[in-house]
């Protein structure tokens, strides 16, 4: 496949706010729409959905917002492979692979096992069909072993440049700073009322950190309820606050932002509060829960595609809190899942490209 030159975005909401807006590729189709979802309403709350599932015809969801910034800056703006981490059905790895592909670049993935749902199997099939190489281990705790194999014993001819899991660096978070400004503009234009509470999933902190900063810069007073998909040791208030602070510092250092320098003061001045809910993690990352499955099935019947790792659990948390009457007024569910049908990308024989151990895992799951 011949490589294409990426286009740069000149119309980012950050460009209108900052003297030196960071470079940004045009990968997403923005702004994404907001829609009423009365079937999600609580007794005293009306629900709106931010449809980031419609963010790209290549691969939607929230990942593309981060990649617009990450792939526009060193060391990711060259022609080297990218190396990153995720489960075998990772949305992050899938997004990176799909957006690198037209650039003639490849992905090297350090992967760990996860429950093989049909969704995970499809994602893995597309990864293999895109030519992604896997350095696989059984669990997240084994990632150092994957790194050792990658750099020492199974070193590729050209090693990749490291990308933070979930693309959740301070550069990646800028994609959701811009998203927060985008939402503020939609509120001003009357596309939705200002939400009293905004529900968004959390895993690697980049989405939530960027939204906190973006909403505060735009003066959108709301409570951001971050529904974690991972255990507290992997995602917590320290990780989220730390990345949000780094993101704000990046805007001051590199983009000419001259406003409030302290994160807590910026949030307080704008009336932005936040909290993390770990109550939907269940048995662990990527392990489906009954509540999450129910939301996926319920949403599918209404034309909204969710999945069991992140967004199904986020919707389940929102439903539980609305049912308890904890929230009133307008509520926003930010759908970060990609709704694209990727099955046309799956090539015959993709299983043969899998490492032997992962192929065995799929065979055992299929036999059950």
Cβ-in-10-Å burial (0-12, 13-18, 19+) of 38 comes to exposed
pLDDT in single tens digits along all 368 residues of the chain:
556 767 888 888 998 899 999 999 999 999 999 999 999 999 999 999 999 999 999 999 999 999 999 999 999 999 999 999 999 999 999 999 999 999 999 999 999 999 999 999 999 999 999 999 999 999 999 999 999 999 999 999 999 999 999 999 999 999 999 999 999 999 999 999 999 999 999 999 999 999 999 999 999 999 999 999 999 999 999 999 999 999 999 999 999 999 999 999 999 999 999 999 999 999 999 999 999 999 999 999 999 999 999 999 999 999 999 999 999 999 999 999 998 999 999 999 999 999 999 999 999 888 77
Going by their DSSP bridges, the two strands 222-228 and 197-202 should be labelled as: parallel
d(CA 154, CA 152): 6
Question: Are the C-beta atoms of residues 235 and 228 closer than 8 Å to each other?
Answer: yes
Q: What is each CA distance from 327 to 317, 321, 330, in whole angstroms?
A: 12, 7, 9
Domains, the chain, with CATH or none: 18-62+168-335 (3.40.50.1100), 66-166 (3.40.50.1100)
In which residue are the tokens 């996860």 written? 114
DSSP conformation class of 284: S
Q: Which residues of 111-147 are buried (b: 16+ CB within 10 A; e: fewer)?
A: bbbbbbbebbbbbbbbbbbbebbbbbbeebeebeebb
Q: According to the model, what pLDDT value does residue 8 have? A: 87
Q: According to the model, what pLDDT value does residue 2 have? A: 55
**φ and ψ at 359, to 5 degrees?**
-60, -40
**Tokens of residue 306, six digits:** 């969710």
Dihedral of alpha carbons 232, 238, 244, 247, sign = negative
d(CA 207, CA 354): 31
pTM (predicted TM-score): 0.95
């Amino acid at each position: 496949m011949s490589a294409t030159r990426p286009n740069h975005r000149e119309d980012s909401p950050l460009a209108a706010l900052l003297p030196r807006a960071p470079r940004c590729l045009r990968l997403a189709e923005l702004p994404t729409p907001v829609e009423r979802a009365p079937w999600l309403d609580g007794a005293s709350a009306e629900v709106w959905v931010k449809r980031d599932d419609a963010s790209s015809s290549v691969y939607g969801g929230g990942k593309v917002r981060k990649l617009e910034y990450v792939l526009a800056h060193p060391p990711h703006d060259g022609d080297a492979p990218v190396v990153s981490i995720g489960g075998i059905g990772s949305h992050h790895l899938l997004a990176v692979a799909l957006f690198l592909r037209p650039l003639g670049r490849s992905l090297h993935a350090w992967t760990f096992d996860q429950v093989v749902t049909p969704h995970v199997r499809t994602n893995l099939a597309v990864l293999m069909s895109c030519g992604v190489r896997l350095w696989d281990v059984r669990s997240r705790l084994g990632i150092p072993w994957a790194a050792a194999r990658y750099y020492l014993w199974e070193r590729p001819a050209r090693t990749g440049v490291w990308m933070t899991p979930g693309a959740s660096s301070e550069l990646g978070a800028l994609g959701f700073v811009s998203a927060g400004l985008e939402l503020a503009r939609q509120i001003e234009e009357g596309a939705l009322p200002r939400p009293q509470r905004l529900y968004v999933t959390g895993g690697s902190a980049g989405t939530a950190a960027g939204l906190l900063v973006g909403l505060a810069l735009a003066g959108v007073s709301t409570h951001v309820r971050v529904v974690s998909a991972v255990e507290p040791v992997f995602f917590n208030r320290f990780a989220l606050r730390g990345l949000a602070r780094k993101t704000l510092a990046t805007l001051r250092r590199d983009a000419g932002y001259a406003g409030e320098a302290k994160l807590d003061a910026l949030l307080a001045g704008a009336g932005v509060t936040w909290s993390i809910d770990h109550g939907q993690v269940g048995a662990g990352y990527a392990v489906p829960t009954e509540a999450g499955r129910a939301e996926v099935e319920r949403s599918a019947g209404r034309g909204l595609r969710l999945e069991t790792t992140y967004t199904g659990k986020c919707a389940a948390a929102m439903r539980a809190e609305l049912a308890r009457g904890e929230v009133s007024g307008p509520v926003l569910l930010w759908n970060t899942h990609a709704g694209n049908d990727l099955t046309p990308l799956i090539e015959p024989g993709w299983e043969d490209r899998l490492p032997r151990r992962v192929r065995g895992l799929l065979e055992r799951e299929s036999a059950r």
